[in-house]
Structure 1
Amino acid sequence: MKTNHLLKSIFTGSLALVSVLTLSTTAFAAKTKIADVSQYQGNINWSKASKDLRMTIIRVKHGNPGDSDYRVDTKRDVNANGAYKYGTPFGQYDYAEFNSTSDAVSDARQFYALSNKHAKFYALDNEKRVGKGSEQSYVNAWYNTMRTLTKKPLVYYSYQNYVNVHKISYSKFNGSWIANYSAKPNVSTDLWQYTSSGSLSGVSGRVDLSRTVDNSTVTKWYTNTPKDTYFTSVSNGQQLRVTRNINRYQTANLTGKKGSVKYNSTVTAKSIARSTSGTYRIQLTDGSYITANKSYIQAK
């Protein structure tokens, strides 16, 4: 009896272990989908969606102020916070409607200012021709502006036909994401958006789904996140550009809020200071303190 009981215990324990391993493997295997989402997916249940997603790409805005169809995505924060809460790596994309190189510069600045600090990478959605100048020059202006704002990966997105018609070169980008629903794109791509009729747990309607072509490159978009860097010195009177909305404070510990500074504004530095924990701050000529993080401030 004791022997039978022991064997039964071992057998039962083995089944339990196999069950746990099976569940774990299944759960891991389920995280294979790559979907891009926007306000058109409505209220996403991120607890459920996260179980399907390897990563997601979230829209921030459509166009630029002044465009007739300009709009900031109403779900950009909800979706970014939901993905982050449930451990889904995410990038964010900017649906652009460039009409000049200066428009591309301001578009990039606004997109970056509205993006979430937890985004792993940023994508330019370049699929609508508006300006009469060189579309390539607009793409270059967006890329060059974004590169001054962030060290995170920059990804180029478009349709196969758009790339071919406008002869777009995106070799400077850290990767490419190309849509073509009939077959694998005939232009260089690392990520292939292959359908607009996919399904995703936690979403009641259809979603765009993509699959990797160059898995190594795509993986780097959300795993090789650069560390924050800080100004360690400034000169008295130096002009700095604010790249995201920030607050001004009474102390170098960033306590005692004194006001706010809107993105793209210019502030004047007085000196470098450090918090009690040693973090670099910038004291402005009015005596207030702001972050010295280069993700929020850049030299003019």
Structure 2
Amino acid sequence: MKKQPLLKRLITGAFVGLAFLAIGATGADAAKTKIADVSQWQGSINWSKASKQLKMVIIRVKHGNPGDSDYAIDTKRNTNANGAYKYNVPFGQYDFAEFDSVADAKADAKQFYSLASKNAKFYVLDNEKRKSGVKGKEQTYVNAWLTTMRSLTNKPIVYYSYQNFVSVHSINYSKFDGSWIANYSNKPNVSTDLWQYTSKGSVSGISGNVDLNKVVDSSTVSSWYSGSSTKTAPSYYTSVTAGQKVTAKKAFYQYTTANFTGKLSKVSKGKTYTVKAIAKSTKGTPRIQLSNGHYITANKAYVMVK
């Protein structure tokens, strides 16, 4: 075989090497398809192995508040955060909350934030357990927790719960930067960006079962950890002409009043209605009144008026 000149062989080899690295990187990225949430119950995670499959991970920080009978700070919160960070797995952290007062919700948020890793890309309120005696007040506590977190960070803040809890307690989580809803039988029938679909998943490097999640709204979920989006003040329609059409860009609900009381039927993404006028809540937030007399959000992130 005739030998190539040395320089030509070096250049050819360099291109082959770069091509190999490019293919290898593409293959590695393609393998990162799983999104898991973990806590101390997963034991010691081999992050070197897990990182080869995990596109993103959500790590527990604590459960409840001091004084709660089941209060606990997750013993693996720092180990898991450091492991994910070391192996370049984007991660958020979650707070399993059990509110029983506005003060409790505010204190919970402050403690959660103080315990969370500075490398967390986003924060999650895990709101799935109700203490006795707080019926009808869940929304007030959720709002207090969110307001407190907003005062502490400009990173995305996500709402998590089970489909049934959201429905039973009529939780409005539209002011969060996204939603993460669990339902193990079917895709949630409430608005969600990330769907926790099983508690019996598997990930290389994690012993036993692990919760796994599917992306429903890729642009929203990616914004939690990519840094491509931070919370901005909502932009509202402040004037409309009777007879115009409004189309839902996301799912939300209709209400009987401009203060969003009297929850009615769900508005599905893509649904179109006829506009009557702009109204305002008692706090001055613009709402769209429909020709049927019902009220919906005027937030341009949720609706488009033509």
- Normalised by the size of structure 2, how large is the TM-score? 0.68
1:199 aligns with 2:230: no
- Give 1:51 deviation, angstroms: 1.0
Q: What is the CA–CA distance in structure 1 between the aligned matches of 2:59 and 2:14, rounded to whole Å?
A: 44
Tell me what 1:261 maps to.
none
RMSD value, Cα = 2.4
Q: Shift of residue 148 of structure 1?
A: 0.7
The alpha-carbon deviation at position 16 of structure 1 amounts to 7.0
Which amino acid is the alignment partner of residue 52 of structure 1?
Answer: Q
State whether structure 2 residue 182 is matched by structure 1 residue 188: no
Inter-partner Cα distance in structure 2 for 1:116 and 1:168: 28
User: What is the SS of the residue equivalent to 1:208?
Assistant: strand
Gaps of 5+ in 1: 228-300
Alignment of 1:96-175 (within 5 A): 96-133=97-134, 134-175=137-178
One-letter amino acid matched to 2:143: N
Alignment partner, residue 240 of structure 2 = none
Aligned residue number for residue 2 of structure 1: 2
- Secondary structure of 1:51's counterpart equals coil
Gaps of 5+ in 2: 231-306
Match of 2:59 in 1: 58
Equivalent residues in 2 for 1:206-245 (5 A)? 206-224=209-227
Match of 1:37 in 2: 38
Q: Does the 8 Å CA contact 2:223/2:229 hold for their aligned counterparts?
A: no
The 1:98/1:131 distance shift into structure 2, 3 A limit, reads farther
1:206 Cα deviation (Å)? 1.1
More divergent stretch after superposition (46-55 vs 16-25):
16-25
Letter paired with 1:127? E
In the superposition, relative to structure 1, how do residues 148 and 131 fare at CA in structure 2: closer, same or farther (>3 Å)? Answer: farther
Deviation at 1:22, TM superposition (A): 3.8
SS in 2 for 1:2: coil
Q: 3-state DSSP class of the match of 2:197?
A: strand
Cα separation, 2, equivalents of 1:102 and 1:182: 36
Query: What is the distance in 1 between the residues matched to 2:226 and 2:14?
Result: 37
| Offset at residue 2 of structure 1 (A) | 2.0
- Quick one: distance in 1 between partners of 2:221 and 2:40? 24
1:181–1:194: 8 Å Cα contact kept in structure 2?
Answer: yes
Q: Structure 1: how far apart are the matches of 2:144 and 2:20?
A: 54
Count how many residue pairs are aligned between Structure 1 and Structure 2. 225
CA shift for structure 1 position 45 = 0.7
> How far did 1:21 drift?
4.4
Q: Give identity over the alignment, percent.
A: 67
Instruction: Flag the 1:108–1:17 CA change in 2: closer, same or farther, 3 A.
Output: closer
Shift of 1:25: 2.1
Distance across 2 between alignment mates of 1:123 and 1:65: 19
Residue 276 of structure 1 aligns with which residue? none
**Alignment-mate amino acid for residue 207 of structure 1:** V
* Distance of 1:3 and 1:107 partners within structure 2: 72
Deviation of 1:226 after TM superposition, in Å, equals 8.2
* Deviation per residue, 1:69-100 (Å, 9 max, x gap): 00000000000011111111110000011111
What TM-score does the superposition give when structure 1 sets the normalisation length? 0.70
**Shift, 1:17, TM fit:** 6.9
